[in-house]
Amino acid sequence: MDSSVAAALLLQQGYEVVGGFIKNWSDSKDPLSGICSWRAERRDALRVAAVLDIPLLTFDFEKQYRKLIVQELYDGYKRGETPNPDVLCNEYIKFGLFWEQAKKFGFEFMATGHYAILKNDKSGNAHLIRGVDPDKDQSYFLYRVPQQVLRRTFFPIGKYKKSEIRRFAQKFRLPVAAKPDSQGICFIGKVDFSEFLSNKLKNNPGDIVTSDGKVIGTHFGLHNYTIGQRQRIAIADKHPWFVAQKDIKNNCLIVVDSEDHPLMQAKELIITDLHWVAGKTPKLPLNVSIQVRYRQSPHQAKIFADATSKSIKIKLKKYVKAAAIGQSVVIYHNSECLGGGVIRQTMQV
């Protein structure tokens, strides 16, 4: 629906618009029809294109998606990390392969239904700003999009709230006006995540250990657990336990009895694999706000560069809970997304 309204708004503004449908995954089934969900999604896209009277091009990137996104997901969880497939999908697929194909067809710009705002300065540089709707802002997932692509990108719905986009969809008589928001892994959909990972990762049981070294249970493979996850150790155990760390070397899951336990609280983070929206590192040190997860309340922090500029140290004013190796940290200055990186080390309180 979001992309459909974006197309309608651009037509209203006088742009020549051609729709683009990306097929990245063919294994998921629609729970109602039992049919491969990408076919149902493409059917919806064709219906929207017919109402808007625009062509629709289809791009098949499934081979690349499996290699660049899904395999990295498997590899990350095998290493005990928590990668973000939506961030990778935007970088490599939507604003990577798709944009390269669009240029070959002669298109000057691309547009998506992301809830974010782009503002170009006098030099033509694109600045990535949070979307107006705080519950839908998707700038977190866009921090790795290259500057040269952002300069050629439109986010037509970023200045609206979701409720307004629903009304636009009804106004334009779009056949997807009542369609619910997509959920789950980007392009794969809502799946049982443990089951999805088990397609490639073998369950390797090991000890569940408390922070003071006491063995209290057995886990069923470290990839099945997320840092911060509430975990019931036994059926009759009503005591809350929380996943604090994964000890890959010893195949142990370390748990604590409180969300406020020191092992759950990080006061400093080291991030690498840096990407800056402007294409260059801002002047550091700098007071910023950060997000470790989508829809997380921003945390005030100060960032420092190392001598090689290959990593950033983040010192938080207050601790952040359940920060996990492999998660993306996205850095903001006021409402502008400056960029971010991937957590490689956490320092607890």
198-224 tens-digit pLDDT: 888 999 999 999 999 999 999 999 999
> In the predicted model, what is the mean pLDDT of residues 286-293?
96
Q: How far is CA 265 from CA 229, 256, 288, 294, 322, in A?
A: 14, 12, 19, 18, 6
Q: Please give the CATH topology (third level) of the domain spanning 202-256.
A: SH3 type barrels. (2.30.30)
Please tell me the total number of residues recorded for the chain in this structure.
349
| pLDDT mean over 174-182 | 86
Regarding predicted confidence, which is higher, 348 or 241?
241
CATH of domain 263-348: 2.40.30.10
The DSSP secondary structure of 215-275, one letter per residue, reads: EEEEES-GGG--TT-EE-SSTT--S-EEEEEEETTTTEEEEES-TTSGGGEEEEEEEEEEE
Higher-pLDDT residue of 256 and 193 is 256
Determine the Cα–Cα distance for residues 38 and 128; give it in Å rounded to an integer: 30
Q: Quote the pLDDT of residue 274.
A: 96
Q: Tell me the CA distances in angstroms from 114 to 120, 130, 278, 279, one per residue in order.
A: 17, 10, 19, 21
What is the rounded distance in angstroms from the CA atom of residue 158 to the CA atom of residue 163? Answer: 12
The residue-averaged pLDDT of 256-283 equals 94
pLDDT digits (tens, 9 = 90+) for 54-73: 999 999 999 999 999 999 99
Question: What's residue 38's pLDDT?
Answer: 85
Eight-state DSSP code of residue 213: S
**What backbone phi and psi angles, to 5 degrees, belong to 29?**
-115, 140
Model confidence band, residue 240 (pLDDT cutoffs 50, 70, 90)? confident
What is 2-171's CATH number? 3.40.50.620
Task: State residue 32's pLDDT score.
Answer: 40
Average pLDDT over residues 285-303: 95
Neighbours of 81 (CB within 10 A): 21
- Cβ atoms of residues 289 and 301 within 8 Å: yes
pLDDT at 35 (0 to 100): 45
Cβ atoms within 10 A of the Cβ of 125, count?
14
Under 8 Å between Cβ of 5 and 169: yes
Residue 237's pLDDT band, with cuts at 50, 70 and 90, is low
The answer to whether the CB of 300 falls within 8 A of the CB of 318 is: yes
Looking at residue 187, what is its pLDDT?
59
Going by pLDDT thresholds of 50, 70 and 90, the confidence category of residue 31 is: very low
The residues assigned a catalytic role are: 89, 186
Output the pLDDT for position 308: 74
Query: What mean pLDDT comes out for the span 294-322?
Result: 92
Summary mean pLDDT of the chain: 91
pLDDT at 34 over 60: no
Counting residues of the chain whose pLDDT is more than 90, the rounded percentage is 79
- The whole-number pLDDT of residue 145 equals 97
* Global pTM value: 0.91
Band of residue 194 on the pLDDT scale cut at 50, 70, 90: confident
Res. 189 pLDDT band, cuts 50 70 90:
low
Convert the pLDDT of each residue in 218-233 to its tens digit.
Answer: 999 999 999 998 877 7
| pLDDT of 197 | 86
Which of 1-10, 191-200, 227-236 is the least confident region? 227-236
**Where do the domains of the chain lie?**
2-171, 202-256, 263-348
Predicted confidence (pLDDT) per residue in 104-163, tens digit: 999 999 999 999 999 999 999 999 999 999 999 999 999 999 999 999 999 999 999 999
